[in-house]
Amino acid sequence: MYAIVEIAGQQFKVQKDQRVYVHRLNAEEGADVQFDSVLLLDNNGDVKVGAPAINGASVSAKVEKHLKGDKVIVFKKKRRKGYQKKNGHRQYLTQLTITDIKA
């Protein structure tokens, strides 16, 4: 059984006991969170599609920890002009473990 759920503005395909990294959520580590915006449910071939979400369906998850992603280097240069810009970025992430999918 899997579901496509919207978490923090992004869509994820999740299954039970799966680890998912999403944009930082306002929840304490160890807290249980529930997402009601389930867009699709597949239960062994029985597919339900929401318009836009399925009423009564939800995905439960546990917040494992908050962390930072890998560093991304943004380097801009214009040749023969002496223009160079270097910028770095690390995204704030939350690690979730999917505990239950309810239809």
What predicted TM-score, i.e. pTM, was given to this entire model? 0.84
Q: Which residue has the tokens 């995905």?
A: 59
For residue 84, what pLDDT is reported? 98
Q: Read off the pLDDT of each residue in 62-88 and give the average, rounded to a whole number.
A: 97
What percentage of the chain reaches a pLDDT higher than 90? 95
Q: H or E segment at 48?
A: strand 46-49
Report whether 35 contacts 9 (CB < 8 A).
Answer: no
Q: Categorize the per-residue pLDDT at 103 as very low, low, confident or very high, splitting at 50, 70 and 90.
A: confident
- CA–CA gap between residue 90 and residue 94 (Å, rounded): 13
Residue 49: pLDDT band (50, 70, 90) is: very high
Q: ∠ at Cα 73 (70, 76), nearest 5°?
A: 165
Average pLDDT over residues 62-86: 97
What percentage of the chain has pLDDT greater than the value 70?
100
Q: Are the C-beta atoms of residues 7 and 35 closer than 8 Å to each other?
A: yes
